[in-house]
Amino acid sequence: MFGNIIEKIEKDLSQLALFMLNLKSGENIKEREFINFQVKLAESLYNAMSLYREISQKEQQYIEKKESIDKTDFLEKMKKWKKQKLEIKETISIGKSIGDSFAYIFYRDSIEELEKHYKHPDNGLFVSGIGGRGEIEFIKANSTIDGYLVVYHAITNMLRIGDFSVCSLDGKVIGIGEIKSEYINDSNFPH
C-alpha cells in the first residue's frame, strides 16, 4: 500500500515539475491546466500528509503495546516506519519546491512581501485533517477572485503568512487571506 501511494504521488509531482518546465520554456499552457496546477499539487501533498499521519498513528499504537510485542519485531517495524516517514517528508519537500517555483511567478515583483513571509516560522510539512481539506476545497472553488489569481500558501515553503494570496498576473500581491474550516454534520441539511 505505502509504495503504491508514494509512487502515485511522485508520478503526479513529476508531471507538475514538467508543467513548470514547459511554462518556463514559454510553451502554450491552457488556462484550465494553469488553474488546476495548484489543486493537483495540493491534493498530492495532502495525500502524502495523510499517509504520514496514518503511519504516525500506527507507530503510536505500536509503542503503546511495546511491552507485549517481540523486541525484534518492534524494532523492525519502527525502523520501517521511520524510513517511510522520511521518504514522505522528502516527497513533500520536493512538492513544496515545485510550489515555490509556481508562487514566485506571482510574487516576482513583490519581494518585500516575500521578505515578510520569510520572517515567520515554517508552516511544517502540510496541513491535514478537516483544515487541510477545507483549504483545498476553497482553492478548487476560488481559483480567482475578481480576476486575480488565488495562490495557495500550503503548497510552498516560502509563503508563511495566511493561507492564500490574491495576486495579479504581473507579479504583484493584492492581499493575503485566511481560511477557517469546520465540520458540519450532514444531518443538519435536507437531502
pLDDT tens for residues 56-67?
A: 999 999 999 988
Report the predicted TM-score, pTM, of the whole model to 2 decimal places: 0.87
* Gap between the Cα atoms of 47 and 117, Å rounded: 25
Q: Flag whether pLDDT at 191 surpasses 70.
A: no
Mean pLDDT of 161-167: 93
**Cα radius of gyration (the chain):** 19
- For residue 189, the model assigns a pLDDT of 45
Angle at 156 (CA atoms; ends 20, 88), nearest 5 degrees: 95
- For residue 125, the model assigns a pLDDT of 78
Per-residue confidence at 186, pLDDT binned at 50, 70, 90?
low
Q: Flag whether pLDDT at 187 surpasses 60.
A: no
Average per-residue pLDDT for the chain:
90
Which DSSP letter does residue 156 get?
-
Q: How many helices (H) and strands (E) does the chain have?
A: 5, 4
Mean pLDDT of 84-103: 96
Q: Flag whether pLDDT at 89 surpasses 90.
A: yes
Query: Which residues fall within 8 angstroms of residue 142, CB to CB, at 6 or more apart?
Result: 150
E-strand spans in 27-185? 144-145, 148-152, 164-167, 173-177
